[in-house]
């Protein structure tokens, strides 16, 4: 694939994300509290998460390593991406208190597709089109982007940890989360993830970085809005000042 074809494909892929965003404003993705049995075959939730997330690391690594011409900066960017996905695929699923819960296989396959295409686009870009010079490390995009990326990871991990600890071992119900960024929004984990990929888009200053951000927001903003509505419907004492995903705004 030459650069023009690659660019056209990536722009098309982003346009698809915009359509999915609109769709998800009306249909909540059926996993977690929104799970439905009408979406066909179900799979164990933990296993679903592992399968959905692990292959992106393989595809991404393959695309990056296929070419010899790399720089230390490419490898640093590679390690940021891999760090995120090793946690998401091999650590996060084992921390979940999700005994007996299931997700539709279709959702797992859709998540896999999203991950594989995005992983391929970033990996192919790093492996074929872009060799970052060492001076990139001291430039504004890398420094600002990395700070935002780390801020996003901290918010995401802290919030996921608060959510996971709401349940005692064996419990599967829902409670009102408190503390951390939950003071401001119902889904700070999803906000943190969006901030993280915003940082990645800035630190790479690249089209596939932007595509990943657009897809992440297309998935997570509607999900956060659905969660927020769900909390309000299920808890009469839900904090009224709390927003869905963007503090004080949305």
Binding site for ligand NDP (CB under 6 A): 32-33, 96, 98, 101, 156, 160, 163-164, 166-167, 174-175, 177, 187, 189-190, 193, 216, 219-220, 223
Identify any residues that bridge with 103 across adjacent strands, giving them in sequence order.
Answer: 43
CB of residue 53 vs ligand NDP: minimum separation in angstroms? 9
Whose Cβ is closer to ligand NDP: residue 110's or residue 143's?
110
CB of residue 98 vs ligand NDP: minimum separation in angstroms? 5
Whose Cβ is closer to ligand NDP: residue 73's or residue 220's?
220
Whose Cβ is closer to ligand NDP: residue 86's or residue 143's?
86
Whose Cβ is closer to ligand NDP: residue 33's or residue 242's?
33
CB of residue 217 vs ligand NDP: minimum separation in angstroms? 8
CB of residue 137 vs ligand NDP: minimum separation in angstroms? 25
CB of residue 160 vs ligand NDP: minimum separation in angstroms? 5
Whose Cβ is closer to ligand NDP: residue 175's or residue 183's?
175
Beta carbons of 225 and 27 less than 8 angstroms apart:
no
Whose Cβ is closer to ligand NDP: residue 163's or residue 207's?
163
Question: Which among 125, 110, 111, 139 is positioned nearest to 53, based on CA atoms?
Answer: 111
Question: Which among 128, 127, 134, 147 is positioned nearest to 200, based on CA atoms?
Answer: 147
CB of residue 171 vs ligand NDP: minimum separation in angstroms? 8
The C-alpha atoms of residue 109 and residue 73 are separated, in whole angstroms, by 32
């Amino acid at each position: 694939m030459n650069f023009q074809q690659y660019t056209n494909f990536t722009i098309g892929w982003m346009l698809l994300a915009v359509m999915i965003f609109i769709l998800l404003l009306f249909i909540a993705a059926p996993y977690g509290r929104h799970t439905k049995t009408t979406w066909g075959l179900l799979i164990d939730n933990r296993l679903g998460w592992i399968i959905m997330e692990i292959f992106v690391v393989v595809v991404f690594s393959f695309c990056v390593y296929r070419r010899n011409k790399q720089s230390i900066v490419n490898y640093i960017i590679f390690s940021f991406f891999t760090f995120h996905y090793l946690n998401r695929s091999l650590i996060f699923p084992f921390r979940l208190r999700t005994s007996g819960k299931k997700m539709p296989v279709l959702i797992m396959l859709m998540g896999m597709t999203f991950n594989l295409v995005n992983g391929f686009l970033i990996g192919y870009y790093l492996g074929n089109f872009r060799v970052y010079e060492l001076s990139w490390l001291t430039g504004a995009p890398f420094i600002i982007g990395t700070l935002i990326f780390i801020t996003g990871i901290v918010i995401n991990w802290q919030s996921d940890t608060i959510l996971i600890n709401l349940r005692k071992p064996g419990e599967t119900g829902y409670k009102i989360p408190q503390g951390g960024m939950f003071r401001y929004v119902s889904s700070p984990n999803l906000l943190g993830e969006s901030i993280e990929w915003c940082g990645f888009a800035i630190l790479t200053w690249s089209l596939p970085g932007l595509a990943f951000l657009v897809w992440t927001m297309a998935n997570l903003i509607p999900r956060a809005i659905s969660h927020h509505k769900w909390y309000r419907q299920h808890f009469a004492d839900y904090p009224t000042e709390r927003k869905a995903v963007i503090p004080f705004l949305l």
